[in-house]
Structure 1
Amino acid sequence: MADHVHGRRADRSVGSRGSHPRGHGADQCPVRLPLRQPGGHLMLPSSDLYKSVIRGPHHRIARVDAFTIDGAPLATDVPVITGQVSAQLTNRVTRTASFTLADEWFPRTPQSPFSPYQAVVRIRAGVGYGDGSEELWPLITGRVWGVRRSAAGTVQFSVDDLAADVVAARFEAPERSSSLSILSEIQRLIRGAIPQATFGPDTLATAPTPQLVWDEDRGQALDDLAQAVGGRWYALGDGSFVVRSYSYQPGAPVQQFLDGPQGLMASADVTQTRDGTANSVVVVAERMDGSEPVRRVARDLSPTSPTQFGGPFGRVVQVLKVQTPQSIAQAQTLARTQLAAATALTEQWQATVVPDYTIEPGDTVRLGYRGYSADQITDGITYPLVTGTAMTLTTRSAGTLGVGEE
């Protein structure tokens, strides 16, 4: 699956990766928040007051700070006229933003606070309380990639998260893997593009890095390495990088979006489709030395699964050819991970809800609309930056754990 992010290719699908004015003077950025809960519970921490006020009338706020990649402050707490942040874990560049500021912020020189030559922005959003206090969460940290000054006297900015910097830093010469572990090798390659990169907590066990050579695509190299341990690499809202398993099994719902009095659900479309669904995954790990490829198969053999291999669903096989996995165990882990993904795409929701800025892609949520409810895993979120605009969720049903051997 691929998309275009502000005119640049940003392939980020597992198994099908692309090659590729307020005052001036802000605190050093990015600001780090408490660590997220591992194991598919990615929801950001919040107060009990916040959980209560979003169910009634409340005042939303958004702030934009600008700084250099080294953290030197350029502008702080700039008010947003309108805008949104989108987060989609199926893309390499996970988070993108579009927002509008007053005309005075149009970059007239390369040294201007929001100039694409130097500006990294951090967008935070949340709620303001009656006592003047605020509760905000980081939605995106990334470079200004585009600026448009409109005839109406406003300025629209487009932002991609810091993974765009990594993808853009293609290898100038063939790059050989090091003897580091896979997770350490991933950090090394990211620092090769962004020396100032910071890293959050990973949720995967590491493994030795096989001897590999990449021609030019740094993003593909990172995809290969993360895939070998059954994960994905991406940037969080605070700008730090992680390698995490993308949950295909639901945890306990972190939030309920239901219709009815004081509910958070406005409307929802629900679709069910066979497209993209498979009940057998074959991993073929091609080796550069020409030796016999590693080949492992994972099938959905759960007797209670609606996609059981050989059951009423039929037999649908996906073949995944990769270079990185070098052992039978690693290839089998990847096959299981891919099978969980393939069996998950049976039901999808497109929901319009009251914004909850603590929800993260990958979280399990309970959705309910017009008498039908389901626990769903969040694939994508569009966060509004102003009052009066809803949040949208794109979700999917969970796969099954019934996995067999070849």
Structure 2
Amino acid sequence: MDTSSILIPVVIIFGVVILLWRLKASNQDNDYSNTLLKVRKKRKGTIYAEPKSPANMVKESTAKKAPAIKEKPIEVPEVPEDFLSLELIHYLEFQRENETAKGFKNLRKPHPLLMSLSRSITDAQELINIVKSDPELVAMVLNMANSPFFGLRKAITDINHAVIYLGIAQVKNLATQFAISQSFAFESDSQKEAYERIWKTSFLASAMALYLAREVDFENPSELSTRCLLNYLGDITLLSMQPTAANFYLNGMPLFMRIKGMQSLFKTNAAVMGGIFGQHLKLPAELHQGIGLGYHPMKNNWDNVDITPEEKQNILFCYAVCRVAEYFVLEGDASYSKLPSIDYQVSHKPELFNLIEQLEACGLGSLNALLQSPRGKMKLSQMLADLKKSV
């Protein structure tokens, strides 16, 4: 048989098979491509999707955002009419119109160390020598130093150790408070109770001032701490001279109401009395004037007040710190302790109505943020808890 007659049909058949196989493979590629496109469309937005340009991503992100929820506006209460109508007695005018020592002749003779303790002390040995000159003062400082407020792990048994461990500022303030307490006498139970509240408030204010002044990087945290303590000198003076003044400290009365009541009954207020008594004690002029002007930030009243920007800053700082201490102790405001603030819109305290603007103007705008920070709130809460255990 002729082989060519056999090979030709075989080649033809083989060619047809190859052609059919190629056609089938081509169809499978198309199906696979279509299937992959379908999968990509189904998985749109995942890693399998086609890459998107940054512009498209921004557009899609914006389009997918949930509708903005309108925040409920903060309800700021109207300022009480009693606050708006209050006119502060001006310390400098009162000082000019009244004899400095008038009304103080019935008070105890001031503690001989009070003037020494009120001035700036930067040398530890100088403070140790002052405190050691009065054995009762040494005992009082050591007793307070070993209280829960300072959280010592080991008892302090001598004044040298107390100054080294607690620092000059803390020991100086403890000694100053003792010296102040020895200058006054309280007979009625209401006077004694009111004095205890004032003492606790001044103690907390001085401790807070030391912490906050260091945090905001003041050059003189120790002096500001002592000044906050001495800011209550007028409250104690007035309480000693006028027993009925105790009523202003026992019922959680707001500051502006206390001032209004004092000015109505006694024709003066605690800040003015503190400044006048400080002058009587021969405290430095800058110090007794700062005490006497202590309420002026409440009404933002600086007319006819000739002081340096630094002195005004000190007065504003102490005003803010003392108000916070009062809300903790004198007013016992539990809700305030959870959200301490010197912003009127948050605290709704009329005494703070004009404060934030003044603080920002003098470079203390960060003070409120520090008070509201987790660290600040924790520190102040701990101080308050330790104070309750200590005194």
Class of the TM-score when normalised by the shorter of the 2 chains: under 0.3
TM-score by length of 2: 0.26
Greater fraction helix: 2
Greater fraction strand: 1
Which of the pair has more CA radius of gyration? 2
TM-score by length of 1: 0.25
